[in-house]
Chains A and B, each alone.
Chain A
């Protein structure tokens, strides 16, 4: 009876993981990169690499805004920091409706001079971030439903996987790369799953919560008779109150330096000032709001709730309207979603999330490969016909594995290459970058069935390894912010990208070499390493 139950769970684990596994792999991979989406975007805009912040950056930016958009209703100035080299500014024209994000105008300023920069148009890290929950080229809601369903499959796979693999602590450190492919893939899969299990549970459940009103609208619609706005207002997800209309009488803006000094003093351990919002600049009712660079809470929205508010004409400190405390349930949900989004995370924390995300990617990828490896080993044991034709389903899964597990990293690398090789002034440039990404991925998916399995794996892994490992070289050839400059200058924003690309290339190269040797060979798969009963017991 007990074994029957575990076998059912193993079956559920296998199929819930497999059917949406290729999509989940893409979600995990792009989502993991998205932890560094600002850094990725920064790398993809070499025009900004010369921008270096100094003590006068904020003041210069405010002064520049007074010339770019003197009549705007509001300026928002995001100062450079560890994750962005330049100043990003946006402003709302006086005639635009409040809360109309599409009406916002944007520009990028050099942190050192305040000059307006014209960076190349790029899809940036934002493309990978959006892709991981909205895919591309389909209606947003449809895509979100597909991702939501895949996320639920992931949750089911995690729960049934935990039940199947009950000896979680016993096999904690078991990784035996020298054993049969079946054993070592199994070890790798379990290790990646178990070592980061809290992360996997958090990221999956909070992924569902991020779509909760779309996926499960029934409670809201019943309790509020379909009036969701009331619900959002009562839950504290209220949008900020619209800014007051500009006063008719003009008044010069107070010097910002003393306000900034005050904020820097208060937020010494918070990375200083992060954003400056000036409402009704140049009018008698102007206000200046400052927020710290580092968040003070995990909750959604980032930046926390702490801020300083000043009268924009006199420079006097104004009282910040208190924010409503969050009820327990919302605080719990927001905490989980905040962890998922990781907007609060400093560099150390961000790397921990990244490593856990890599573990998740490895978990999904190794699970997909395990499905094929296990069936090969079963087949060769069952009828000694290891040379007979492989069933269509197994071949299909194997080729999809090649095109996704090896092909997607290759496509991501191609995306970065496109960023540097496409002419900077190209029309629809961001669209072309995305086009190259999908072309490379499609080529990988088409290449896979045309080659023998092992060859296909090795070729695509080598291609991905080369593309990633040569990214620092490409960077050196096309921009000034290469490792030779970024490392001596301690510019970890750029050096971090190059070094991570190099590491990804080495890892893929390592995998490619292993594939070339034995990992997928039928000979190795057919070698009897475990008694048949043990395999069935353990790996159903």
Chain B
């Protein structure tokens, strides 16, 4: 039905099924993985901004959530713009790093007397 971009077809010449798999994988990565990345980034920023910029908690949460939609949209666009083998690692690695950072900051806050 549609001519897929040559880059997405690379290495899959003629294999219609694998081409579809590639598209499905990118959709899942962009929509699902991108949402996860945006959510983790929002959580990380919500905890990190008060420490880094002395921002009040509510404002940090608001800023982080506001930015998360741009991150999600950017992740979807990104998932369709790079080579197939870079898509998942490129989304999951930053998500894991931010997740680790969030876990650390959250642990610090829970430990500290407020």
Contacts and interface: CB of A to CB of B under 8 A. Distances in A.
A and B touch in the complex (CB under 8 A): yes
Interface of A: 1, 4-5, 7-12, 14-16, 152, 155-156, 159-160, 163, 205, 208-209, 212-213, 215-216, 218-220, 222-224, 231, 234-236, 327-330, 332-333, 375, 391, 393, 536, 540
Given A11-B2, A216-B42, 9 more contacts: A8-B8, A159-B74, A215-B69, A219-B42, A219-B43, A222-B106, A235-B58, A235-B62, A327-B58
Q: Mostly helix, strand, loop or mixed at chain B's interface?
A: helix
Nearest to A14: B2
A236 B56 CA distance: 12
B95 interface: no
Nearest to B1: A393
Contacts of A330: 58-59, 62
Contact of A223 (B1, B4, B40, B47): B47
B4 to A, nearest CB: 6
Nearest to A237: B58
B2 A216 contact: no
A8 B73 contact: no
A16 B102 CA distance: 32
B61 A219 contact: yes
A147 B38 CA distance: 19
A216 B7 contact: no
Contacts of A215: 69
A8 B9 CA distance: 11
Nearest to A18: B2
B61 A224 contact: yes
Interface of B: 1-8, 38-40, 42-43, 45-47, 55-66, 68-70, 72-74, 76-77, 80-81, 102, 106
6 contacts: A159-B77, A219-B68, A220-B46, A231-B61, A329-B55, A540-B3
A6 to B, nearest CB: 9
A216 B65 contact: yes
B56 A155 contact: no
A4 B5 contact: yes
A224 B61 CA distance: 9
A400 to B, nearest CB: 15
Given A209-B69, A218-B39, A8 B59 contact: no
B59 A208 contact: no
A160 B69 CA distance: 15
A152 B57 contact: no
B1 to A, nearest CB: 6
Given A223-B60, A224-B61, A216 B38 contact: yes
A195 B57 CA distance: 39
B69 A156 contact: no
B6 A333 contact: no
Contacts of B80: 8-9, 11-12, 160
A177 B102 CA distance: 55
Given A218-B39, A219-B45, A222-B43, A332 B73 contact: no
Contacts of A329: 55, 59, 62-63, 66
Contacts of B77: 9, 12, 156, 159-160, 163
A279 B42 CA distance: 42
Contacts of A333: 62, 66
Contacts of B61: 219-220, 223-224, 231, 235
Q: Specify which of A10, A216, A393, A540 lies most central, judged by the most chain B CB atoms within 10 Å of its CB.
A: A216
